[in-house]
Amino acid sequence: MVTLPIVTALMRGLHLAAALSLLGVAGFSAWILPAARTVPGRLHTALSRLQWIGGALALLAGSAWFVLQAAAIADADTWSNIWRALPVVAEHTRFGTMLMLRLVLIAMATLAGLTRFGRYPVVILAAAALVTHGAIGHAGATRGSAGGALLLSEALHLIAAGLWLGALLPLWLSLRDLRLADAAAVCMRFSPLGLACVLILAGTGLAQGLALIGGFPALFGTDYGRIALLKIALFLLALALAGINRLWLTDRLAAAGTRARQELMVSALAEALIGLTIVTAAAFLASAVPGIHQQPVWPFSWQFTLATVGEDADFRREMLVSVALIAASVLFMAVGLLLRRFRWMALILLIAAAVWRGPSFGLLIAEAYPTSFLTSPSGFSAGSIARGQTLFARYCVACHGPNGEGNGPAAAALRIRPADLTQPHIWGHTDGEMFWWLTHGIDDPGAGPGGGLVMPGFPAAIPDEGRWALIDYVRAHSAAVSFERDPAFDTPVPAPSGPIACNGLPAAAMSGLHGHAVLAILGATERERLPAGTVVLAVPNEAWSATPPEAGACVATGVAAGDAYAILAGLPPDQTTGTTFLIDANGWLRSVRHPGVANDLAAAIRAIQAHPLEQRHGASHEHHY
């Protein structure tokens, strides 16, 4: 059923909201309420009842969530199958064991609240229950130190949310029942705790967003990112209300009487409802695929870029002048507001600076397409590169020429010469932009009102995977030309991915060699002594068939490996024997060396071991594999 994931996420959100309320009520009763000199029995009863309801609701919603999730895990479609799946999921899955532990802790906290042990056991047990939540979600599925950092971040995030958002209903009840002076004292004591919680929420939320959203494009271009945006907007709205409560309404409470009390109650209730919506959004986030694992579909026709100002000194100077003038106008406006003088003059100057220099910010905007931030799903595999070469010869050579230089036999008849695909500009285009052009064509800016194309698209002739293969080939061929022109070429180009066989190394694919410097050799296996930590990868070609690798070495076993490396070498497959490639510990190609060229290979390997290229986020040709 389509609605089952939605209902499951809603039960998860209701469970989390109730657990946050359980902590918030206990924390409020323990630390905030004692600020009041006199607390009526009605308020004590209401807080006890709210705490009990929060615990009971957390247990009921958590149980419903467990049943629904167990049904999904076991793919059970009848009540009898679901019933049989429950003990299996509870005992043999992390979700089941951690949720059972949470429910036990919540039950203990609820029962502790009904006894005379005080509020602190409830706070400790409810906080412990919230700490387990991260192990069920994305943080628990992340391995290594990054996973541990996410678990700690989410634990702090939830505890802070409970102590702030979970305490808003108790605050509302206190505003209703306490005398004005006592209500003001309670609000004043709540403010520093709320501020600390907000800072923790902002810091941990940022850490989790950086780890799970996957960058600015994913924030707008994935479902996960859009839910995160909603959560951020709601958080800022709740923060604004909290600021109004503290900076304006609380100060008026003791003096302004009933009206200020009513305004503060309305504001606190609105803040609590926003908090409930935030928790619901968080539940859907926890149930969604993180943005870092999705391909973003960009929703705007423009994108932010620094390429224009980075490449042109005049544009860069114009941008800096505009930023300086507008910043100075904003500063003058701030001073005028602070001193309550020159405000109209400052406003006029700010408007004039914005109108005069604002158009300069258009230099930071570039055209974008829905696919602009997609990366090739092929993994830059050897097979994809080789297939792209075949497709290029069939569909592209007529215009771009056999070497991609824009001098094909049909180029002379075209009004605009085809692009030279061997020039550095190719690295300024993303995979997604190239995919869009191969799919929809490139518009002719001088075609007139009717429009026209400089290059046609190939959606019918070439399937999606073929267009990605074309992009891989163009990247590989351009890299070969770049290495030939500039031995210091350091734009990250990944080594072709594919299967390998190793002797003494636990690697079955190229990605398994990350962490090692790799010397890939075409058509040969013997090599002089190399620095420690270097792995030799023998790549079969037309002159040499693969043999079992030597100890500590590997052999590329993919049928297209030799062709892919030949393309990266810029040589015909039958002339590649002895060509070597240096690959650093992060999997990037660092140099191509042809046989007979004198060089200090050991020194070059030590250099890339000491200075591997880092992943450049947002790099124009960034591949994931």
pLDDT, tens only, 335-364: 888 887 888 898 899 999 999 988 988 888
**Type of residue at 119:** R
pLDDT surpasses 80 at 590: yes
Host H or E run for residue 294: none
Q: Of 87-91, 160-164, 257-261, 478-482, give the lowest mean pLDDT range.
A: 257-261
Sign for the CA dihedral angle at 148, 151, 152, 154 comes to positive
User: Interhelix angle for 561-569 vs 464-485, to 10°?
Assistant: 40
Nearest to 19, CA basis, from 94, 123, 137, 171: 123
Query: Using CA atoms, how far apart are residues 7 and 103, in angstroms rounded to an integer?
Result: 19
pLDDT tens across 453-479, in order? 889 999 999 999 999 999 999 999 999
pLDDT surpasses 60 at 622: no
pLDDT tens across 220-266, in order? 999 999 999 999 999 999 988 888 887 777 777 766 667 888 888 89
Q: Of 182-186, 231-235, 340-344, 371-375, give the lowest mean pLDDT range.
A: 340-344
| 60 against 595, higher pLDDT | 60
Q: Which long-range contacts (CB under 8 A, 24 or more apart) does 127-131 make?
A: 127/23, 127/159, 127/162, 129/19, 129/22, 129/102, 129/105, 130/19, 130/20, 130/23, 130/155, 130/158, 130/159, 130/162, 131/155, 131/158, 131/159
Class of domain 382-475: mainly alpha
Helix (H, G, I), strand (E, B) or coil at 414: coil
What are the domain boundaries of the chain? Answer: 3-293, 302-367, 382-475, 490-610
Q: Which long-range contacts (CB under 8 A, 24 or more apart) does 148-152 make?
A: 149/207, 149/211, 150/207, 150/208, 150/211, 150/212
- Total Cβ atoms within 10 A of residue 115: 9
Please enumerate in sequence order all residues whose Cβ is within 8 A of that of 251, keeping only pairs 6 or more positions apart, or say none.
Answer: none
pLDDT surpasses 50 at 624: no
Burial class of residue 430 in the structure, from the number of CB atoms within 10 Å of its CB (0-12 exposed, 13-18 middle, 19+ buried): buried
- Across 157-183, average pLDDT: 93
pLDDT, residue 279, reads: 93
Under the banding of pLDDT at 50, 70 and 90, the label for residue 623 is very low
pLDDT surpasses 90 at 452: no
pLDDT, residue 447, reads: 66
Under the banding of pLDDT at 50, 70 and 90, the label for residue 330 is very high
Under the banding of pLDDT at 50, 70 and 90, the label for residue 620 is very low
Under the banding of pLDDT at 50, 70 and 90, the label for residue 525 is low
Q: Of 307-321, 325-339, 401-415, give the lowest mean pLDDT range.
A: 307-321
Q: What is the mean pLDDT of the chain?
A: 89
pLDDT, residue 621, reads: 38
pLDDT tens across 241-252, in order? 888 887 777 777
Topology at the third CATH level for domain 490-610: Glutaredoxin (3.40.30)
- Across 389-397, average pLDDT: 96
The Cβ-side half-sphere exposure at 369, using a 13 Å CA radius, reads: 18
pLDDT tens across 112-145, in order? 887 766 788 999 999 999 999 888 877 777 777 7
pLDDT tens across 191-229, in order? 888 889 999 999 999 888 888 998 889 999 999 999 999
The Cβ-side half-sphere exposure at 434, using a 13 Å CA radius, reads: 24
